[in-house]
Structure 1
Amino acid sequence: MAAKRGPADPGRRERIMAATQRLLLEEGIGGLSHRAVAREAGVPLGSTTYYFETLDDLLDGATRRLTEQYAHWLHEWGAGLGDPSPAELVEHLADLVETQLAGSRAELVLSFELMSAAMRRPELRPAAVLYAETEREVIAAHTDPHTARALVLVLDGILLQSLAARTPPSREEITAPLAALLTPEG
């Protein structure tokens, strides 16, 4: 009976995936290639194509992991809100926007880049819509589904415009459209 053969480097696939994520966050979709990933991971080029035959396989795997990490983080954020009033939810959502703009800029840029790329590449749509679906799910736990959808659309608009702006939005620029949906009388 022949001895079982296994990979000489069992952590190689994970290093390739981590390198792909780093490249996506630093360079975007346009900077992704098997060669760049191999260089970043410190593995032979053939290893990237062994584990991920096509560039789309690499992109799909990395974006799924990034969106799953974001979903986990967002669910934890939502669970920590308790049972906020509409006015408190406005403030929590404004805090979320400010947190994302301050600390998660690369992830935000990639999420919008992924949405844009998915317009022409249908295979990217499941990963691209996971961001919005997760946001809607988390926010719907604190309001009704229709308002949650409207809030996600407003949040995406605020974040997208903020990424392109020279200066971050003021707190009032963030809270005013959220308050218009959640506390229209106040």
Structure 2
Amino acid sequence: MDTYRRQIKVDNNLLLRLFLTSRESPFRRGQRTVHVSFKTMFVGGVHELLHEMQKSFTELGLMKVDCIEMSWIESIFYFWFRKGTSSLDVLLNREIAELEGYLYFKRKSDYVQHPISIDGLKGLWKLMNQEGENSPDLIFTPYGGKLNDFSESEIPFPHRAGNIFLIHYGLN
């Protein structure tokens, strides 16, 4: 089966984001390597998540030790703020340095309505491996899930019309 074209329907309580970063290889001096990681949020318990992941993404090999159970507000701290941040007061702080640890960065997003072709993925990989001081970071965020349970008249979200995911580009 062509894994690039596989479409999987997952539990609406699961958000699975893909992060691609390119850095200098620790093993081959002067060459770059692409790091792939997944950040997931699941509204439910660890056992439900493990069952869903085993059913849909066995190749990731997720185990209970890889999971952290927390409240929704704790997940905001986990994903967006520096380690050790736990006071709700930080949510009122608008300083950029608090959000990502970077003073200077550029971000852009595009909405994708069709799967990326194999040639497109190869071009993306080539871009990620280009030499340079600042290479791009990419985040793929799927759309759908719980949002699809609400009509547009109930909860406005103009970006959902036909978009299957968001691709977020970043340079630090």
Q: TM-score, normalization: structure 1?
A: 0.20
Give the structure with the larger strand fraction.
Answer: 2
Question: Greater Rg, structure 1 or structure 2?
Answer: 1
Q: TM-score, normalization: structure 2?
A: 0.21
